[in-house]
A and B are shown apart, each in its own frame.
Chain A
Amino acid sequence: MKTSYNSNIYHPFRVIVAKEISDQVKSWRFIILIAIITLTCMGSMYTSIANLSKSIKPGDPEGTFVFLKLFTLSDGTMPSFFVFISFLGPLLGISLGFDAINSEHNNGTLSRILSQPIHRDYLINAKFMASLIVISVMLFALGFLVMGLGLILIGIPPTPEEFIRIVFFILLSIIYIAFWLNLSILFSVRFRQPATSALAGIAVWLFFSVFYILIVNLIIKAIMPPNNGVEFDSYHYEILKMNLLRAIPNQLFSEATTTVLMPTVRSLGPLSMEKVYGTIPGPLPLGQSILLVWPQVTGLTAATILCFFLSYLSFMKREVRAR
Chain B
Amino acid sequence: MSGNIIELSNLTKTYGSFTAVDHLDLVIKKGEIFGLLGPNGAGKSTVILMMLGLTEPADGTVKVCGIDPVKLPIEVKRKVGYLPEDVGFYSDLTGMENLIYTANLNGISKHEARLRAKRLLDRVGLPNDADKKTGKYSRGMRQRLGLADVLIKSPEIIILDEPTLGIDPTGVREFLLLITRLSKEEGLTVLLSSHDLHNVQKICDRVGLFVRGKLLAEGDIKALSRKLFNSNTFIIEAGVNGLKPGDPAEQLKIVLKSIDGIVSVQIREEFFQIEGSRDVTAEIARCVINSGLELHYLNRKELALDDIYYQYFEGDKRYENQL
Contact A108:B88 (CB < 8 A) given known A117-B74, A117-B77, A319-B49: yes
Residue of B whose beta carbon sits closest to that of A13: B105
> Does B54 reach chain A (CB closer than 8 Å)?
yes
In chain B, positions 53-86 with a C-beta closer than 8 Å to chain A are: 54-55, 74-75, 77-78, 80-86
Chain A residues contacting B85 (CB-CB under 8 Å) are 322
Interface residues on B, range: 35 or more
Contacting residues, chain A, for B101 (C-beta < 8 A): 15, 19
Which residue of A8, A119, A320 contacts B54 across the interface (Cβ within 8 Å)?
A: A320
Least CB separation from B15: chain A residue: A319
Q: Is B14 part of the binding interface, using a Cβ–Cβ cutoff of 8 Å?
A: no
Chain A residues whose C-beta falls within 8 Å of the C-beta of B146 in the assembled complex: 112
Q: Do A107 and B109 touch across chains, with their CB atoms under 8 A apart?
A: no
Instruction: Tell me how many residues of A have a C-beta within 8 Å of chain B.
Output: 30
B86 and A108 contacting across the interface, CB-CB below 8 Å: yes
Whole-angstrom CA separation of A10 from B77 in the bound complex: 18
Q: Is the CB of B107 within 8 A of A5?
A: yes
Chain B residue with minimal CB distance to A122? B105
Cα separation A204 to B9 with both chains bound (whole Å): 48
- Distance (whole angstroms) from the CB of B200 to the closest CB of chain A: 18
Known contacts: A112-B84, A115-B82, A321-B45. The answer to whether A16 contacts B54 by CB under 8 A is no
Q: CB distance A322 to B84 under 8 Å? A: yes
A9 with B108: CB separation less than 8 A: yes
Listed residue (A8, A12, A111, A119) with the most chain B CB atoms within 10 angstroms of its CB: A111
CA distance A8 to B52 in the complex (A): 28
A180 to B272, CA, bound (A): 75
Tell me if A151 counts as interface (CB < 8 A to partner B).
Answer: no
B149 close to A (CB within 8 Å) = yes
Whether B82 pairs with A117 at a CB distance below 8 angstroms is no
Task: Please list 17 pairs of residues, one from A and one from B, whose beta carbons are closer than 8 Å in the complex, sorted by A's number.
Answer: A12-B105, A15-B101, A107-B89, A107-B91, A109-B88, A111-B82, A113-B105, A115-B81, A116-B153, A117-B75, A117-B77, A117-B78, A117-B107, A118-B77, A118-B105, A319-B55, A322-B45
Q: List residues of chain B with CB under 8 Å of any chain A CB.
A: 45, 49, 52, 54-55, 74-75, 77-78, 80-92, 101-102, 104-111, 146, 149, 153, 161
Which 8 pairs across A and B sit closest by C-beta, in order of nearness? A108-B88, A8-B109, A115-B82, A117-B78, A111-B84, A107-B88, A117-B77, A322-B85
